[in-house]
Structure 1
């Protein structure tokens, strides 16, 4: 179904997913009768107002809590629209908000409930587990919903790939690995929508193949040519077998290729592999 620019669908009778027009950011509503808990709240004022119109105005639900998988502006646009709702975030939320590239101060709302390692919350039939899972950001949270056989993962993945941003790729790899251990059948991303669990393997494959290709370029090329060669890495060379890239994934792959030379991503990995090869040769 569509409502202006906002797509929404039921993942279960008491779980609704909303996908906004801005960056295809995702919000997930867990229902307890007419009470709703939101995990993330979209990426623009327009999308957030459409979410409120649909969920509260048309469906008659009251948002009692809004939780953030991470405190970046493209995921918290709706927090201020529900002033009576409890706000939940990891204690490192402020670090993430200040470190982002696209900060929107008008979306900021102080979280009322902070946690460190984990938080468990009963919401209707759901036993929601908020688990600190640093990867793309230091405050990243995975929200495990076993009764719905799904996990909300924020920006741990971007569809079948990952976005490196300013993160350590090893942290992203570790975060995805921890999500796999939840063993859920569906994964709700921070963007695009929901996916079967195989998307986690696809994202790890992409990250590993991108790393290997960048290391190969850095190890065998004069520094002056590195950026151009990295910029030419096709997304098809990094995707898991049988996966076709969406336009959204292609866009964020291009962003990865731009930031890798700018932020010296995989440079340490290249040095370590060269040192290991030299030790073997000696």
Structure 2
């Protein structure tokens, strides 16, 4: 577990569980959290740092998306206002493994966008569906950062049950904010180039899978997809972390199990025939 300062009145926490991230914004002794880590142990550690060590009171807990590995602290601050997109239940119920004990009904929901002034910072919550249908990007121009949630996973993406094209579009919208720092849902903070790297990874992975599906058939498709090396998909000069390697392998499993990019392959074949 670790935390670091991202700027004036901004603190980022990274837990041990899934390297899940939470970002705290301060208004005097009051704190607003964007996401709240992935395990009870991590969330209790964060509460100890914020409340016991720093003397802060958590007044708001907002979610970039309602998956359990980002909600562990929701129930630790019963007096805090909880904030999420209107489709939060769709995301929570779509998980492979729901941690029902972390679920807390948000007191405030919104549809497309809302802005919240918190101390010296202005937080712009923008609905940005990609990895999940309820995904929210939190643009903070006063801190020159944006909280991207799980629309990126470091320099890659995680496909899960999402439409890859939707993820790509979501990353593009994050890029349009023009912030120098991108806070991911996992791993921590990154320079803005991480967005280009994630799109590069997604595009190269798509190209690899389309080529394999076009050239082979049957079980050979599964074997070749499972053998796609992450280095084949990464942007130049990007060295994969162990966390990114792990989620790349999960992507390969998802691609086989859910026939991801099969439609893209069919469309590419149709274009060639035309």
Shorter-chain-normalised TM-score: which range?
over 0.9
- Match in the other structure for 2:7: 12
Q: 1:12-91 residue pairs with structure 2 within 5 A?
A: 12-91=7-86
Q: CA RMSD in A?
A: 0.4
1:272 and 2:244 are equivalent in the alignment: no
CA distance in 1, matches of 2:217, 2:133: 34
CA distance in 1, matches of 2:169, 2:254: 21
2:136 to 137, 141, 162: 141
Q: Which sections of structure 1, spanning at least 5 residues, go unmatched?
A: 1-5
1:95 and 2:86 are equivalent in the alignment: no
CA distance in 2, matches of 1:149, 1:158: 20
CA distance in 1, matches of 2:17, 2:252: 22
Partner of 1:127, secondary structure, is strand
Partner of 1:43, secondary structure, is coil
- Match in the other structure for 1:163: 158
Shift of 1:156: 0.5
Shift of 1:13: 2.5
- Match in the other structure for 1:246: 241
Shift of 1:102: 2.1
1:203 and 2:198 are equivalent in the alignment: yes
Partner of 1:23, secondary structure, is helix
CA distance in 2, matches of 1:51, 1:82: 12
> Contact (CA 8 Å) 2:8, 2:143: kept in 1 or not?
no
TM norm structure 1: 0.97
What per-residue deviation string (whole Å, max 9, x for no partner) do you get for residues 39-96 of structure 1?
0000000000000000111000000000000000000100000000000000000000
CA distance in 2, matches of 1:139, 1:102: 17
Partner of 2:91, secondary structure, is helix
Q: Moved runs in structure 1, 4+ residues, more than 6 A?
A: none
2:226 to 225, 231, 234: 231
TM norm structure 2: 0.99
| Farther off after superposition, 216-225 or 133-142 | 216-225
1:261 to 244, 256, 259: 256
1:152 and 2:147 are equivalent in the alignment: yes
CA distance in 1, matches of 2:225, 2:153: 20
- Match in the other structure for 1:183: 178
CA distance in 1, matches of 2:222, 2:130: 25
CA distance in 1, matches of 2:197, 2:55: 38
Q: Which sections of structure 2, spanning at least 5 residues, go unmatched?
A: none
Partner of 2:18, secondary structure, is coil
1:121 and 2:108 are equivalent in the alignment: no
CA distance in 1, matches of 2:91, 2:268: 31
CA distance in 2, matches of 1:102, 1:155: 16
CA distance in 2, matches of 1:137, 1:48: 23
